[in-house]
Amino acid sequence: MSDYRHGSHTVFSIHLHIVWITKYRRKVLRGEVAERVREIVREECRKSRVEILRGHISMDHVHIMVSIPPQVTISRLIQRIKGKSSYLLFNEFPALRKRFWGRHFWARGYFCRSSGNVTDDVIKAYIEGQDRNSDDVFRIEGESSPPGDTPIGDTPLGDCSPEE
């Protein structure tokens, strides 16, 4: 692959497909909540020098495909993203507290797969195929496309997706 990243003493290309769901699979990721989740995920990834290659926010789960540096552990990254977003969402959207008791916005755990088992193109096509409307590399389900953008066709990932 030609898109290697460089650290002070490393050259790497670690691409991961990560998915996590809302507690009770509640369909609350829409509108301002979904936009805020996208902002928080982008910010936490930026802080960790994790590059988001593709992303999609559905109403009850989030898909991201990332390029992660070797010093960042997957579990720590997900812990920061889910922890920070949960804290901020409950503070900024008080109505969510009524739907999620115990201050747990996200379900426990996550799905993660390296793209060594499946090509990057298949994962990108799968994420893009979640919704025909695309706005950029990190979309929200149902959001309209910007002018001049062309939707990308569906390519199913098959049995590589987490159980839903």
**Angle in degrees, CA 85, 64, 70, rounded to 5:** 95
**CATH number, span 5-154:** 3.30.70.1290
More confident position, 144 or 164: 144
User: How far apart are the C-alpha atoms of 80 and 141, rounded to whole Å?
Assistant: 23
pLDDT for 156 beyond 90: no
Is the predicted pLDDT of residue 134 greater than 70, yes or no?
Answer: no
With cut-offs at 50, 70 and 90, classify the pLDDT of residue 142: confident
Angle between helices 74-92 and 31-47 (to 10 degrees): 140
Percent of the chain residues topping a pLDDT of 90 = 59
Average pLDDT over residues 89-106: 92
**Domain ranges in the chain?**
5-154
Residue type, 116: G
The residue length of the chain stands at: 164
Who wins on pLDDT, 87 or 138? Answer: 87
> Can you tell me the distance from the alpha carbon of 91 to that of 23, in angstroms, rounded to the nearest whole number?
17
- pLDDT average, residue stretch 16-32: 96
Q: So what's the pLDDT on residue 21?
A: 98
For residue 104, count other CB atoms closer than 10 A to its CB.
14
Contact 103, 138 (CB under 8 A): no
Q: Identify the DSSP state of 13.
A: -
**Alpha-carbon distances, residue 93 vs 19, 29, 40, 86, 143 (angstroms):** 23, 12, 14, 10, 20
